[in-house]
Amino acid sequence: MDAPQQADAASGVSGGGTAAEAILIRDLWKIYTRKKGLTVSSSDVENEERVEELDRGEDAVVAMKNVSLEIRQGETFIIMGLSGSGKSTLIRCLLRLVEPTSGEIIINGENVTAMNKRQLVNFRREKIAMVFQHYGLLPHRTVLQNVTFGLKLRGEEKECRMGKAADAIEKVGLKGWEKYYPASLSGGMRQRVGIARALVMDAPILLMDEPFSGLDPLIRRELQDEMIHLQKVMHKTIFFVTHDLSEALRMGDRMAIMKKGEIVQVGSPDEVIANPADDYVMRFVSDEREQMRRAEEVLARSRAGKEGASHVS
């Protein structure tokens, strides 16, 4: 390694990804320990017998196992799985809200796993934004104050952050609600504030952890439509966690399905539905496959009826 490469590695900048990769995850593990004094290191995950021992026992939980993914610039990438599959652990590892046990995370060429605390704080403020499932709004701040909060922490001038916040608030359809507090808003409106707060940071990467799961179906679909529209304008890289297959199909360019901490299949939504990798994925997509089968039968009967009518005439 020459001197410039060594300097980059030391600063956590050089990650070895290509320009087309927004997020590169390599051999990522997370093992939570329950027993006081028990520690698990990267050397433990390289020992299969040790991992099996931890997985079988009650002193630790193997939440992620050897996860590797490549997310392309500008795509909406969906992570799906049942509760406990590891999807929320994975998205939190990207920000290091959860510290990985082993592995590497490269985001836009920067090695997140190698960053020190100061670098990580700056990275979170400048390069990435997150929308949480339960909004995460500050209850004693207005809509406008919530949306500008991150910009204020970043040190931007008041006039600048007010202009950016007004634009973001209008994009999510909350113009006129700037002076209201979260308690006065519906669940869907609170989530819109959360989205505006993420958009205003103008980060190239947007992380979304089941952002619409607690909303009524009509509101959920409305916000999905809004995000699809915004993505056509913004061209962000979106890493989106959900357990809702219909949501994944509507929003995702590609998707990965997780089971017990492992990735079991990666592909476009159409590929996953058409060619499920195993019985677990098959059960996941069975309702959608059945709906497609019924739609094809209806279409076939309709075509047969039209052909019969044309022969009679």
The predicted structure's pLDDT at residue 1:
42
The predicted structure's pLDDT at residue 7:
39
Token pair for 203: 């980060």
How many other CB atoms are found less than 10 A from the CB of residue 66?
Answer: 15
The predicted structure's pLDDT at residue 291:
66
The predicted structure's pLDDT at residue 146:
94
The predicted structure's pLDDT at residue 35:
82
pTM, full prediction: 0.82
Token pair for 180: 């209201």
Rounded Cα distance between 84 and 37, Å, is 24
The predicted structure's pLDDT at residue 211:
87
Q: Quick one: which of 37, 133, 44 has its CA closest to 91?
A: 133
CA torsion sign, 209 to 214 to 217 to 223?
A: negative
Q: What are the 10-residue block averages of pLDDT along the chain, 313 residues in total?
A: 40 54 95 85 83 85 93 95 90 94 95 95 91 84 94 90 93 92 92 91 92 84 89 92 89 94 93 90 78 68 70 60
The predicted structure's pLDDT at residue 15:
58
